[in-house]
Structure 1
Amino acid sequence: MQKLKLLYRETNWWWPLLYGVGGAFLTALVLAIDLYAKELFPNDWKTTLGLAQTIHSAVFTGLLTMMTFTFSTILVVLTTYSSQFSPRTLPNFIENRQVQHIFGIFIGTVTYSITMLFFMRPSLKDSVVASAVAVIVVLIAIIAFVAFVHIVSQSIRVTTLLDRLHEEGCTLITEHIDAIKEGHYQLVSSQEESYPFHVTAAQTGYLQAIDYDAVMKSGQRVTIDVAIGSYVTQGQRIGSAAQQEVEQGIIIGPTRSAEQDFPFVIQKLTEVALRAISPGINDPNTARHAMRQIGDLLRRYTVLQDGDLLVTGEGAVTVNRLAFSDFLYLTFYQLRHYGEEDISVLATMLEALEIMKRDALPEHKVSIDRFIPFVCSEVDWSALNEWDRRHLEQAQEKALL
């Protein structure tokens, strides 16, 4: 089930294909009405065969041009996402269901127009529904095109991307916390529990997700020693099991997926911030906004204690989780390195750490307090002017409170 869910999320041609098939079915329905039920419609709806062919020909040509423009615009947006934000953020636009529905409307309308034009024969002395439906679908396509322009104009804004990543992270952590409250998940102390049979990676790639129901069938008990999102190679031992044949429930792919990988969402936010503070873009305010989003997501994450994830059901699956101190370091170590010369970036990084402490467990607060001096460890305080030094010192003192 989890594999199908992941496939549905990452497959981008399902909806356009369904709309195309819908356009073909609409053609069949309209032809049936024109052949057998034309007397049910007013005479004002009737058009000659020649006019109907002209309308459908114009509709097909116009919509094909519109679809070409839409496709070109999508490529421009993808290029912007890759160059200005991060290559890892491309799926956030590609997997947008609104974009897929709009593109599907164009494909369905073009399919209807070209198939209807093909089936128009002299036997249709007058066309009742075909021309009227062509006008209706064109109006729907125009509305969809206006919606597409609005979606693109919003998606190209970096704040919209950051908000979507923040929402994606909030959804993941909320589902995780709810599953723990309901007793489906448990956080247990890390332990070196081993079973007789080795679990190996079926292919090289990233551990995208685990289908717990498939793994736990027949009372299976499994321990996964690597965290979700880790890079594994074919044949690598990634855990152990009480029985054989559990690999089909372990989903490995060429890229990381945010389906069960909360750190991957944080990584995408971090990469947007890194790209923003690069000399080629030089947009520190975007980096500061991304770090505040990171701080809020990790604030939600710090209510969870360290330990492995235990999922129980018919069997049991234990999955390795990254310790919070390591998670914290991997989130900020690049930002701290590339932003060390920008006082505003360092101050906002300290602000993000202060945000995390608001709801953190005591052990996580200790890790954050230990990490705060590391943020400014390479700052040459003696070279700072009075205003910069005071601003950074105040941010550091506030984070340590």
Structure 2
Amino acid sequence: MKTIFSSLFSFYRNIKSKIAFYPSLFALSGLVFAFLMMYLEERGISGYLVENIPVLVVNNGDTALTILSACITGLISMMVFSFSMVMVLLNQASTNYSPRLLPGLISDHKHQIILGIYLSSILYCIFILFSIQPTGDQYQIPGFSVLVGILSTVICIYAFIYFIHTISQSIQITFILDKIYISAKRRMNVLLEREKDAPTVFPDSSGWYSYNNEFSGYFRDIDRENIIEFCKEKGTMIEILPVRGMFALEGIPMFRSKKELNRDEVSQFFTYFHFAREELVSNNYVLAFKQIAEVIAKAMSPGINDPGTALNAIDYLTELLRLRMLKSDHSYICEDQKIFACERAVHFEELLYTLLASIRTYCKHDIVVVQKLGAMFQYLQKQKFKEATYPATLKTEAERLLRDAQEVLDNKSDLDIISEMATRLKIALE
């Protein structure tokens, strides 16, 4: 039962980020509501309203046909325009910032819900249109259903106004960066909360039984509760080998078990892994660092040349690095002060080098951006840190940045600024 639930949950998480998920749900609800209204019309709801509140009922067949036809035409036009604007947003984000931002933008629920409202209203109006008998008397016309169709069109108009407001915000880089930051911060706070008072001793697993991956895709998430129950039931400990967010190829070692497992137990354990074909910040905070670093590199590339965007992105990167310094380089799955499994994480040294390698390449020639990065290192050196090696890592990366900038810049004033930064960061440049 747990295996089935885990598989269904994994399927739900995969399709939830698709752009058609919420529109499909709303379309289905509009279809069901249309049949419900048809049923109520057969029960005489319009006849009752004609006798008691006639102002709420459209009692002319030709008028009802004209109104619903106009509503359907207008709603289709609004939906096409809205969908086109979403495509413009995705194209601009991919061209000007980074293609890696697209999964997060596509999974924006607000735009999906608005498209779903359009679609459900269109389907509702179409099916109500089919039920109209313009040659019949007033009791055969679904007058109340037509009124509901008019109201749904009015709701769509207000949704369209809200859509214009949100799309104008979503296309701004500050909004995109803020969304990435909030998602990553939320995820990191969850991880930091789990690390509180957690044990940090895990045995050497080099001699344990290793099991290869049976799937391929981005390693998105794991089912922590089921893994704990599995380890309790089988009396074993588990080490998960790939880093979350990496593309796990079929056939590579996926996990090690202290106790040997049979084929059925291995298959059961693999159901606790969640794979996907795209990455989301809400599942892997490291992706937020990559996205912001790519925004900085793209902004400073010769084709874009936008230092302002790079400076804004560095501010968000600084805050995320401060939070990352509060986290350990190891992640444990434990319960009641007992460790059941260990999950590999991206080490701070590896993370910082990966980020700064691309940033150095595109930013070392701009003294303003280099100053901003120097201020970032200076700020991080004064913050709290979880591991004793973090300050040395910061100093090493700062030294690489300033040395690259020193080799590229030839203006004496710029070189003096580099020397001042090196002094503040206590770096000896040749």
TM-score computed with the length of structure 2 as normaliser:
0.85
Q: Deviations over 1:194-234 (max 9, x none)?
A: 46432212223322222222333332521112211223321
Cα distance, 1:127 vs. partner? 3.7
- CA 71–259 in structure 1, closer or farther in 2 if over 3 Å, else same: same
Tell me if 1:7 matches 2:14.
Answer: yes
Q: Does structure 1 conserve the Cα–Cα contact (< 8 Å) formed by 2:409 and 2:415?
A: no
Cα distance, 1:256 vs. partner? 3.0
- CA 274–52 in structure 1, closer or farther in 2 if over 3 Å, else same: same
Alpha-carbon distance in 2 for matches of 1:51, 1:64: 20
Q: Does structure 2 conserve the Cα–Cα contact (< 8 Å) formed by 1:214 and 1:248?
A: no
Tell me if 1:135 matches 2:147.
Answer: no
* Matched residue type, 1:51: T
Over 6 Å off, 4+ runs? none
Q: Which residue of 2 aligns with 1:46?
A: 57
Q: Deviations over 1:66-103 (max 9, x none)?
A: 11111111111111111111111012211111111101
| Aligned pairs for 1:196-275 within 5 A | 196-218=208-230, 219=232, 220=234, 221-241=237-257, 242=259, 243=261, 244-245=265-266, 246-275=269-298
Cα distance, 1:7 vs. partner? 2.1
SS class of match (1:216): helix
Alpha-carbon distance in 2 for matches of 1:206, 1:33: 49
Alpha-carbon distance in 2 for matches of 1:299, 1:56: 57
Pick from 364, 373, 382 the counterpart of residue 399 of structure 2.
373
Alpha-carbon distance in 2 for matches of 1:187, 1:296: 27
Q: Does structure 2 conserve the Cα–Cα contact (< 8 Å) formed by 1:209 and 1:259?
A: no
Alpha-carbon distance in 2 for matches of 1:155, 1:79: 12
Cα distance, 1:378 vs. partner? 2.0
Q: Does structure 1 conserve the Cα–Cα contact (< 8 Å) formed by 2:202 and 2:339?
A: no
Cα distance, 1:146 vs. partner? 0.7
Tell me if 1:276 matches 2:291.
Answer: no
Q: Does structure 1 conserve the Cα–Cα contact (< 8 Å) formed by 2:30 and 2:123?
A: yes
Alpha-carbon distance in 2 for matches of 1:377, 1:58: 67
- CA 109–289 in structure 1, closer or farther in 2 if over 3 Å, else same: same
Mean alpha-carbon deviation: is it higher for 201-210 or for 79-88? 201-210
Alpha-carbon distance in 1 for matches of 2:85, 2:254: 42
Q: Does structure 1 conserve the Cα–Cα contact (< 8 Å) formed by 2:64 and 2:143?
A: no
* Matched residue type, 2:152: V
Alpha-carbon distance in 2 for matches of 1:240, 1:50: 72
Runs of 5+ unmatched residues, structure 2? 1-5
How many percent of aligned residue pairs carry the same amino acid? 21
Cα distance, 1:23 vs. partner? 1.3
Mean alpha-carbon deviation: is it higher for 134-143 or for 30-39? 30-39
Q: Which residue of 2 aligns with 1:145?
A: 160
Residue correspondences, number? 397
Q: Deviations over 1:146-181 (max 9, x none)?
A: 111111110111111011111111111111111222
- CA 315–249 in structure 1, closer or farther in 2 if over 3 Å, else same: farther
Alpha-carbon distance in 2 for matches of 1:53, 1:224: 62
SS class of match (2:214): coil
Q: Does structure 1 conserve the Cα–Cα contact (< 8 Å) formed by 2:364 and 2:408?
A: no
* Matched residue type, 1:352: M
Q: Does structure 2 conserve the Cα–Cα contact (< 8 Å) formed by 1:12 and 1:100?
A: yes
Cα distance, 1:187 vs. partner? 6.6
SS class of match (2:256): strand
Tell me if 1:166 matches 2:181.
Answer: yes
Runs of 5+ unmatched residues, structure 1? none
Q: Which residue of 1 aligns with 2:3?
A: none
Mean alpha-carbon deviation: is it higher for 379-388 or for 339-348? 379-388
Cα distance, 1:4 vs. partner? 4.7
Q: Which residue of 1 aligns with 2:410?
A: 384
Tell me if 1:18 matches 2:25.
Answer: yes
Alpha-carbon distance in 1 for matches of 2:253, 2:61: 69
Alpha-carbon distance in 1 for matches of 2:351, 2:122: 49
TM-score computed with the length of structure 1 as normaliser:
0.91
Q: Which residue of 2 aligns with 1:68?
A: 80
